[in-house]
Structure 1
Amino acid sequence: MALTLVSAVVSDTGPYRTNNEDVAIAGRRLAVVADGMGGMPDGEVASDLAVRALAPMERLSADDPVAALHAAFNRANEAIGAAAAGSAERQGMGTTMTALLASGSRMVVGHVGDSRCYLLRDGHLRQLTRDDTYVQALVDQGVIRPDQARTHPHRALVTCALQGTPVEPAITVLSHLRGDRFMLCSDGLTDEVDDETIAHLMSTVEEPYECAAALVKAAIAAGSRDNVTVLVADAEPID
């Protein structure tokens, strides 16, 4: 069965930031969240360039969606590199990016950095992406427990991002079913809100926009000091 996405996004600058470096697309075929790297110049420019590079995929079908999404990530990376090369002030700028592309009965997930994609299926929450961070490497090595990662002092240290240098996005393909709910977010959510709370809100708040808003509200209430962006997308049959 061919499915499409019914999606909505909510983004909040947060109470401690003066600008929002998160950029997102909530489409019928394409969902994207990019988070400009804090502490680097022009993070909002990098995230905007990255999302613009993927935007045409909302309108264009591809015989090979995996190759198409991979190529789009490469275009995004190249656009950021070109922008940085043309301005000394933009050296080092970059962004994370996570994207979902609906293709028939399959979903293709592309990922670089520490923005995340989750799947809620039959009441069970599953993280589809792996964070490209120093702290995640410590978890993988058994140095710290997963529950310690959220409060680790170096949790914001990203080890892979779109910055114009060679990068290999992680690409995952899965079958998606009617009733599946996907959620993409910047780390402004997951730094403050645990998986149990995320699962509860995704399971109980029915409408995608209201669900995204509830998750953003939870992050702000928990004391998020970052921009917070949440995109909720439900898989539904194509009319």
Structure 2
Amino acid sequence: MSTSVSSFSIRAFGQTDQGLMRSENEDSYFVSEPHQLFAVADGLGGLPEGSVASGLATEVINEYLAGLAPGDAVDFGSMFERVNLRVFEKGRSISADMGIGTTLTVAQFRQDRFHIGHVGDTGLVVFGKDSWRQVTRDHTMAQDMLDRLRPGEHAYIPEYFSHTLTRCIGQLASIKVDTYEDIIVPGERALLFSDGVTKTMEMDEIHEKILATDSPKDLVNEIIETANYRGGPDNVTAIAVYFDE
């Protein structure tokens, strides 16, 4: 995908991979060139039919966009409400006791900024020449514990807390959505990803890779290859978005 808006030339590429340790791929992703919208969803492995949950999330996003003209702003509250209700209803038909669930991070680029809706621990990071910033905040037990610490305090956080969600799509009939707005500078590059990426790579390493790789497709393929070389413990999904000057 390659488009131009104002002073930006945007190049984007997304891909997903099952990894080496999972019996199926429960991640999904979505890229819309006309709406300059990108989404990553990661179905919950601890619940039934994670692939159904994430796939339904991206399917509903596509349906939602069909009602908008290219360039129209997305209403994340309305979009996520529609997605959540469909996943919730489908989950109750699959398992009345457990339901199904998925994370979901959606970013739309308009004018000079990202507008973002987010639930779970899929994420969005923006990389500049000298630094990077994570725009989204994980909805995990680990992050909640970190948020409660006072300056200078430390606490033992079990590793599995980093992957234990406190919020997801589809478990309740209504959902609270975090929304963000992030100004993009020409030359920056962004990555949307499932947690299969961060299980095998640190952001500083990805920062080096994204600066050294001129093609978003090559970057995403390298991230997937690296994750699988390091054991492929989880499904891996990434969308790279390059904002060229």
Q: Which runs of 5+ in 1 are unaligned?
A: none
Greater shift, 2-11 or 126-135, is seen at: 2-11
Cα 1:107–1:74 change in 2 (3 A) is same
Q: Which residue pairs with 2:123 in the alignment?
A: 116
- Where 1:95 maps in the other structure, the secondary structure is coil
Residue 75 of structure 1, CA deviation: 0.8
Residue 175 of structure 1, CA deviation: 2.1
Greater shift, 201-210 or 87-96, is seen at: 87-96
1:204 to 198, 212, 219: 212
1:65-119: CA deviations, max 9, x gaps? 4xx1221111110110121233337842100011110122221011100011010
> Within 1, Cα distance between the matches of 2:235 and 2:96?
22
- Where 2:12 maps in the other structure, the secondary structure is strand
> Within 1, Cα distance between the matches of 2:9 and 2:171?
32
> Within 2, Cα distance between the matches of 1:175 and 1:118?
12
Quick check: 1:101 aligned with 2:143?
no
Q: Which residue pairs with 2:137 in the alignment?
A: 130
Q: TM-score, normalised by structure 2?
A: 0.86
1:18 to 18, 23, 48: 23
Residue 230 of structure 1, CA deviation: 1.1
Quick check: 1:32 aligned with 2:44?
no
Residue 126 of structure 1, CA deviation: 0.9
> Within 1, Cα distance between the matches of 2:16 and 2:223?
10
Coordinate RMSD, CA, aligned: 2.3
> Within 2, Cα distance between the matches of 1:236 and 1:53?
30
- Aligned-pair identity in percent equals 25
Contact kept, 8 Å, 1:23 with 1:34, in 2: the verdict is yes
Contact kept, 8 Å, 2:135 with 2:182, in 1: the verdict is no
Q: Across the two proteins, how many residue pairs are aligned to each other?
A: 232
Q: Which residue pairs with 1:83 in the alignment?
A: 90
1:153-192 mapped onto 2 (5 Å cutoff): 153-165=160-172, 166-192=174-200
Residue 136 of structure 1, CA deviation: 1.0
